[in-house]
Amino acid sequence: MLQKKVHIMTYGCQMNVSDSEKISTALRGAGYESSPTIDGADMVILNTCSIRAKAEEKIYGILFTMKGRLKKNPGLLIGVGGCVAQQEGERLLKKVPHLNFVFGTHNLHLLPEMVRQAEAGKRVAETSFIDDESRLDLFPMQSEGSGVTRFVTIMQGCDNFCSYCIVPYVRGREVSRRFSELLDDIRSAADSGVREVTLLGQNVNSYGSKGDDGSGFASLIRDVAEIDGIERIRFMTSHPKDISAPLIECYAEVRKLCSHIHLPVQSGSDRVLQMMNRGYTRAGYLEKVARLRAARPDILITSDIIVGFPGETEEEFSDSLSLIEEVGYVDTFSFIYSPRPETKAAALHDSIESREKHERLNRLLALQKSLTARIQSSMVGERLEILVEGKGRDDGQIFGRSSGSRIVNLQGSLDLVGTLQKPLIVKAMQNCLLGELT
Ligand code: 5AD
Ligand code: SF4
């Protein structure tokens, strides 16, 4: 039988990238193979993000352009999954008449049946939540793919309810994968050539806090480090309030744990942090940073910052700028606050003008740019250990990431992919470093 083709379009975070792999596996069971292009596809799936309004608007824009495709290919089936699907459910079918099916973040296992119904001409939406561990049994969690680095989902959902954030509403409650299952998964990844794993979850620090064996995140890191073949361990994303003493000890003792942490601070002002329901103060955050640095002096820290939270004063914004300098982030991802449905902050009066928010964002970006340049320049002349991942930016180049998660491009053979190398850093660019193997 001729295989039908599905083109999956993924937006937003790494969790969605990982979900798209599972969608692809589920659809294979329904007779569809993944296609890298939309041309010639029988079905297209948008795996969506709704973290900020802009991400959501983009999805509607893309769905609108699909109308043109349908003129050329009237049999094309269109499905929407991910966070916009979870948020909108049936409403999405009403808003977009040419849409065939909508599936929520907990319903990937229902996809083959939904596709069968869509093929039979029905329009279906399924967005029910499964908020206990049984949701993990509904779908093979084994990650797929090739290459030397692998993202491994260790937990899903979030119970933190930061006042601005839609994630707890569209991803549901925290659920951790079983310890032994995860280790088996990572062992088989190592056997297939994977050298670096990134343990993935909305809030990895609380891994196992509800699990049946109660094993925590720090013990997971230690056990992963015992797996032969795995040379490097990373994780994403961790909540500052949950950075524990055992995790900090891992930075002191576990050599395979990379010298990087993404530790989103969101704001440098105590009043704003409290309004955000973050559960820590500026001083508490800085204290954790100091302890991490004491355990691992060369650790590089990155962060997320929200600009223009409702009521943020100029002085409170300056607190974020001064925190960026005080921590010395090597990079930050900064976002203008975007009110999201259902969240607490959406009810707050937002008095800051859009022009002002953009002006603040630009000031923050300029500060970060100079800080990144300063930190990266200080690496010139050093030898950084990189894991070679693949083809680099220019012809003849390969690239890898340093333990601190800096991209290094260098001249070299693709035979080196999967190996650890120690190039000399000869130049710092804005987004990467240039290295030489000598
Ligand atoms: N508005 C702006 N930024 C947001 N983020 C999450 N929700 C919002 C929002 N409503 C940012 C946070 C988070 C990152 C993934 O997205 O900084 O850490
Ligand atoms: Fe959102 Fe806060 Fe959970 Fe992160 S910790 S996903 S910002 S609610």
Instruction: Specify the domain boundaries for CATH 3.80.30.20 within the chain.
Output: 133-377
> Under a CB-based contact definition with an 8 Å cutoff, are residues 421 and 411 in contact?
no
- What is the number of the ligand closest to the CA of 203? 2
Taking the CA atoms of 182, 183, 184 and 186 in sequence, report the sign of the dihedral they define.
positive
The Cα–Cα gap between 388 and 379 comes to 18
For the CA of 333, the closest atom of ligand 1 is: 17
Low-confidence ranges of the chain (pLDDT < 70): 1-2, 137-146, 210-215
pTM of the model: 0.94
Please provide the DSSP assignment of 146-192 as one string: -SSEEEEE-EE------TT--HHHHH-S-EEPPHHHHHHHHHHHHHT
CATH of domain 133-377: 3.80.30.20
Helix (H, G, I), strand (E, B) or coil at 399: strand
Place of tokens 């290919």: 73
The confidence score (pLDDT) of residue 392 equals 92
Q: In this structure, how many other beta carbons lie within 10 angstroms of the beta carbon of residue 7? A: 19
Q: Whose CA is nearest to atom 16 of ligand 1?
A: 51
The confidence score (pLDDT) of residue 210 equals 60
Q: Which spans in 10-133 are helix H? A: 14-28, 53-72, 82-88, 90-95, 111-119
The confidence score (pLDDT) of residue 212 equals 43
Ligand 1 neighbour 16 (Cβ under 6 A): no
Q: Is 3 left (phi over 0), alpha (psi -120 to 50) or beta?
A: beta
As a three-state string, the secondary structure of 240-276 is HHHCCHHHHHHHHHCCCECCEEECCCECCCHHHHHHC
- What is the number of the ligand closest to the CA of 280? 2
Buried b (16+ CB within 10 A) or exposed e, 275-285: bbebebebebb
For the CA of 237, the closest atom of ligand 2 is: 4
- Please choose, from the candidates 47, 28, 66, 313, the residue with its C-alpha nearest in 3D space to the C-alpha of residue 170: 47
The confidence score (pLDDT) of residue 114 equals 96
Ligand 2 centre to CA of 194 (Å) is 29
Q: Whose CA is nearest to atom 2 of ligand 2?
A: 162
CATH class of 4-126: alpha beta
Q: Tell me the two tokens of residue 402.
A: 């340093």
Ligand 1 neighbour 51 (Cβ under 6 A): yes
302 - beta bridge partners?
A: 262, 331
Ligand 2 centre to CA of 238 (Å) is 10
The confidence score (pLDDT) of residue 352 equals 93
Q: Whose CA is nearest to atom 18 of ligand 1?
A: 304
H-helix or E-strand containing 288?
helix 282-295
**Residue in 15, 16, 86, 165 to alter for ligand 2 test, most ligand atoms within 8 A of Cβ:** 165
193 - beta bridge partners?
A: none
Ligand 2 centre to CA of 48 (Å) is 17
**Residue in 14, 158, 342 to alter for ligand 2 test, most ligand atoms within 8 A of Cβ:** 158
Helices 217-225/245-253 angle, 10° precision: 20
Instruction: Specify the domain boundaries for CATH 3.40.50.12160 within the chain.
Output: 4-126
Ligand 2 pocket, Cβ-based, cut-off 6 angstroms:
158, 160-162, 165, 167-168, 202-203, 239
Ligand 2 centre to CA of 162 (Å) is 6
The confidence score (pLDDT) of residue 146 equals 61
Q: Whose CA is nearest to atom 1 of ligand 2?
A: 165
Q: Whose CA is nearest to atom 4 of ligand 2?
A: 202
